[in-house]
Structure formats: structure tokens, C-alpha cells
Amino acid sequence: MSGGRKVNARRRKILAGAVSAAALWPGLALAQSGSGNKSLYLYRGADRDKRVIEGAKKEGKVVVYTSLNLKDSVPISEVFEKKYGVKMELWRSSSEKVLQRAVTEARAGRYSVDAFELNGPELEALYREGLLDEFYSPNFVNLPPSAFPKHRHYAADRFNFFTIAYNTNLVKPADVPKSYEDLLDPRWVGRIGIEASDTDWFGSMVKAMGEQKGLAYFRKLSEMKPQIRTGHTLIAELVAAGEIPLAATIYNHNAERLKVKGAPIDWKPLTPTFGRPNAVAMAKHAERPHAALLFADFMLSLEGQKLLKKRNRVPASNKVDSNLNDFPYQMIDPVVVLDESEKWEKIWADLFLQGRKAKKEAD
């Protein structure tokens, strides 16, 4: 890994396929390879926007690897193409599979991707692999400090916030939990849903509570016989259908998407509320760097952020009002997720999954 940084066992496993491919090119050192795009990525001259747009039009297309599902990413790409006349080619899969593909291709000396729109931890892994470059966008001014890692090689365009959600036909307003402690009320035994892969939320919660107190809390929560399901979208649908009265870990935008359609579901942030960043990043060896920058500019612009809001996603921009981020929150640190995931996944599996490994959802 670049810079001598450690990667835990889970990330080594994620990259295993890519490493086997790299054996065919033992002399390839990704992190040491130069990038001719950095000066463009960081350019701030007065003609910057004009230069980016004209260059992108000459390049003709941008190749984006993303975890954003196609029902959201395709409509966004159509607006981008109509606005700029630049084709957007999407390759969409889970964040882990995007990471594997990007590393495998790079170690084979192939650089197909120009830009990423991906979960924070996987982008952090790509940064440590030496496959991202720092970049600048004039839209950074509208983003909160939590949208950036210290090294600034990616910038959040959207957040996934962990909140509770409940079926409004089954849970009376007076019974809606006001704190995480309320989830331990005996009335919720066997009636709480938890998403199976939310180990980063779990680790963040335990650390926020203090490890001893936090682990004690989650032991009690596991004794509540929660229903474990894979997929935040699925859990939202089960809550709306009345199969699960209350969900302890849900993305609030999934609940909102059903709520606006008239489903009997609502959501509520509890303290502390944690968010998971999803961000845009520049491929260090992008063949179409102007188009990559134009993609990032668009996703972070007010127009792009409003498109995300229209899709009931949570925009990162401070300039786009949304009830989906109008509350105090803390951001899950992708660096900590990457470095400590093995620890928290083991404890989580023992508490909630009978020792089985959590299966990750696609988005």
C-alpha cells in the first residue's frame, strides 16, 4: 500500500482478486506512477471553468464507476449529457466490487475509469492504493468541512443518515422512541429491525457512548431479539408494510421516498445521528481528465445537488435545503472505518449475526 499505511484483513480480502492480477506485472508500482492530470485537477485560474468544459467536449465522454443505483444515477447522467453534450458511461455495482475492479484494472496497466462516485471507505482504500488525485472544484465553498478527508482526495456529494423509522399505523406518536435507550423498552422485544451490515454505524455509536457503556448497550439491544435484514431499502419496505413496526438503523431517505408516496412510514433522528459520506473523486490516471472534473463540478453544483434531492437523496451542499439533513449530525470517518472494521465486524457478528459475516448491500 502507498505511504506504508496498514490495511486491515477485511480490506486485504476485498483486494485479493486485484492482487492476484498484479502478480502478472510485478514491476508495477501504482502509488509511484506519475499523473499528468494533477495540474489540471488543481487549476484555479480565471478561465478554469471554460477550460474544463471545452476540454470535456473534446474528450467526448466520461467513464464513471459508481455505487449509486441506476434508478438514480441514470436520470442524473441524462441531465449531464443534455447540458454539456458529453456522454456519461456508468459502471454501477457495490462499492466493494467497484474497488476491486478499479484496482485490478490499474494493476493490469489499464485505466478505464475517469471518476468515481462511491462510499467513503472504498474511496479511502483507493486513495491508499495511489489511484486518486487531489482536485479542486469551485463548488467546494458550499460543502461542510465534514465533506472532506484531511488529504482532500475526495469530496462528499451526498450523505446516508442513520435514523429510526416506524410504521405510523402500528406505533402511536407517544410511543415513538426519543432516545436510543428507549429501544430497550420491553414493548419492542421482537419488533425492531436492524440492517445486517451496519458495522460502521455500530462502531461509531460505541465510540460515541464510550466503549464500555456502548458495548453494554448493544448487548442489551441484541437481547431484544431484533429482526436482522440485509438492505436498507428492504427494511424501509418492511416497515411500511407493517412486517417490522420499528427499524433502528435505516437510511432516512429510503423512508422519505416511501412516505411521500403515501406509505404509513415516518423517520426520526436520535442523538447521536451518524451519517455515511458518499463522495466524488478523480482517477489519477484518467484518460479524460477534463470530463472527470466536469462530472465532479456537476455533482457538487447546486443543479446536481438539487437533482440528488429530487431523487430523495441527501445532498451534501449547505446551499440546498432538505429536511433530510436538517438536524445535528456527526460524520462516520472513512479512515476509521477502514482501519478498525475488523474489530467492529467481529463484535457485531457475535452480537447480532450468530458469528456469521455480514453481507454487504449494493448501495
Angle at 155 between CA 149 and CA 160, to 5 degrees: 95
pLDDT per residue as tens digits for the range 336-356: 888 998 999 999 999 999 888
The 8-class DSSP code of residue 183 comes to G
pLDDT per residue as tens digits for the range 79-100: 999 999 999 999 999 889 999 9
Q: How far apart are CA 145 and CA 140, in angstroms?
A: 9
The pLDDT assigned to 362 comes to 53
Do β-strands 330-331 and 274-283 pair in parallel, antiparallel, or remain unpaired? parallel
Is residue 125 a contact partner of residue 19, using CB atoms and an 8 Å limit?
Answer: no
The pLDDT assigned to 356 comes to 83
The pLDDT assigned to 360 comes to 67
The 8-class DSSP code of residue 88 comes to E
Instruction: Name the phi and psi angles at 36, rounded to 5.
Output: -85, 5
DSSP class per residue in 225-283: -PEEES-HHHHHHHHHHTSSSEEEEEEHHHHHHHHTTT-SEEEE--SSPEEEEEEEEEE
The pLDDT assigned to 361 comes to 60
Buried b (16+ CB within 10 A) or exposed e, 143-163: beebbbbeeebbbbbbbbbbb
Question: Which ranges of the chain have pLDDT less than 70?
Answer: 1-35, 358-363
The pLDDT assigned to 355 comes to 83
The pLDDT assigned to 119 comes to 93
Q: How far apart are CA 47 and CA 49, in angstroms?
A: 6
